[in-house]
């Protein structure tokens, strides 16, 4: 024991006047073991564990029968409605200034005058050019489509009204010629008929709204761009449309391979004419047959029983055009 007055001697502790409330005692208590890294939210290992827990909970919820969120799927380009393929068809469409969104060009394409002009016209109109691999272009246009390395994306076709076409044609011609289709479902027939109408001075083609073909990419291609110059109208009711044309003074002629009479073209050269073409197999429907002024057929020699709709319309349109020209000369 140190002597009294020695520096190391314990001094008497002065009694506390105010207590600490146990703060000092609790400060000396331990805080337990250090938590693991994955248990600390601020640690990278803790953040990884939290992300894994969230993923596991979502996975367990989906496997438990809860509906998974619906994924958005990108719909491919509709070939029949939005792509014009082929070099002639594309360049004719661009020359006619039809609305277009994109010009697709295959990589390493064999450049010719048509492709160069198509690119120049697209640049002039501000249409974006997209160079894509040929397999991708094959996928967009379809396996059976011959695109020749070029395709043009166009918006859906805007159909005209039949009576509006008639009024516009009558303003400049006293004997306009129109063609109506009944039961034609092949777009290539539509394209061929539109091309013939444009070649022989017709003013438009009328298609019914139901059970008939519309203007598709196949029709664009077959017409070689003639659809851009010759309007196609859609009739909600073809029978009523034929009656409306008859009220305007048109002579309605129906083509049917089984008819006995031939087309009296010489008598109709100066008359407004509406030619109705039926399908090769079924022909004209009953209501259309009853509405027409006359049902005629194309005389043929040989063993061929019938012509398809496109060829039949071309023969009749040529004969009508020839008779009109002869009448003008005389």
Domain co-membership, 298 together with 210: yes
Report the distance separating Cα 93 and Cα 98, nearest Å. Answer: 6
CATH of residue 142's domain is 3.30.1330.30
| Listed range (5-14, 38-47, 292-301) with the worst mean pLDDT | 5-14
Query: Which helix (H) or strand (E) is 114 found in, with range?
Result: helix 113-125
The per-residue pLDDT for 19 is: 61
Q: pLDDT-derived band of residue 67, with 50, 70 and 90 as boundaries?
A: very low
Q: Which of 209, 112, 101, 122 is nearest to 161 (CA)?
A: 209
Report the distance separating Cα 260 and Cα 263, nearest Å. Answer: 10
Does this model's pTM top 0.75? My answer is: no
Residue 235 in any domain: the answer is yes
Q: What is the domain range of residue 133? A: 79-153
Domain count, the chain: 2
Q: Which of 211, 200, 204, 271 is nearest to 239 (CA)?
A: 211
Domain co-membership, 173 together with 141: no
pLDDT one-digit tens code per residue, 276-303: 998 877 778 889 988 988 888 887 776 6
Residue 39 DSSP label: G
Residue 12 in any domain: the answer is no
Domain co-membership, 208 together with 121: no
**For residue 115, pLDDT beyond 70:** yes
Q: pLDDT-derived band of residue 79, with 50, 70 and 90 as boundaries?
A: very low
Residue 3 in any domain: the answer is no
């Amino acid at each position: 024991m140190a002597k009294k007055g020695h520096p190391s001697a314990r001094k008497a502790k002065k009694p506390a006047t105010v207590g600490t409330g146990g703060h000092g005692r609790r400060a000396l208590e331990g805080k337990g073991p250090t938590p693991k890294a994955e248990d600390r939210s601020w640690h990278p290992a803790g953040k990884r564990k939290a992300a894994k827990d969230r993923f596991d909970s979502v996975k367990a919820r989906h496997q438990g029968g809860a509906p998974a969120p619906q994924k958005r799927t990108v719909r491919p380009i509709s070939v029949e409605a939005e792509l014009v393929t082929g070099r002639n068809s594309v360049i004719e469409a661009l020359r006619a200034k039809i609305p277009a969104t994109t010009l697709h060009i295959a990589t390493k394409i064999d450049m010719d005058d048509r492709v160069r002009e198509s690119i120049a016209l697209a640049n002039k109109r501000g249409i974006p050019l997209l160079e894509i691999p040929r397999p991708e272009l094959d996928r967009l246009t379809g396996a059976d489509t011959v695109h020749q390395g070029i395709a043009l994306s166009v918006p859906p076709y805007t159909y005209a009204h039949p009576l509006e076409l008639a009024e516009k044609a009558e303003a400049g011609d006293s004997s306009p010629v129109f063609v109506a289709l009944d039961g034609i479902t092949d777009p290539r027939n539509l394209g061929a008929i539109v091309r013939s109408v444009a070649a022989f001075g017709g003013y438009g083609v009328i298609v019914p709204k139901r059970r008939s073909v519309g203007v598709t990419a196949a029709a664009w291609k077959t017409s070689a761009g003639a659809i851009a110059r010759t309007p196609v109208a859609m009739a909600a009711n073809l029978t009523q449309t034929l009656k409306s044309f008859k009220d305007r003074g048109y002579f309605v002629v129906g083509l049917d391979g089984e008819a006995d009479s031939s087309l009296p073209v010489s008598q109709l050269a100066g008359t407004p004419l509406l030619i109705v073409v039926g399908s090769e197999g079924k022909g004209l429907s009953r209501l259309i047959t009853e509405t027409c002024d006359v049902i005629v057929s194309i005389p043929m020699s040989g063993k061929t029983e019938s012509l398809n709709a496109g060829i039949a319309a071309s023969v009749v349109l040529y004969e009508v055009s020839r008779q009109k020209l002869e009448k003008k000369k005389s």
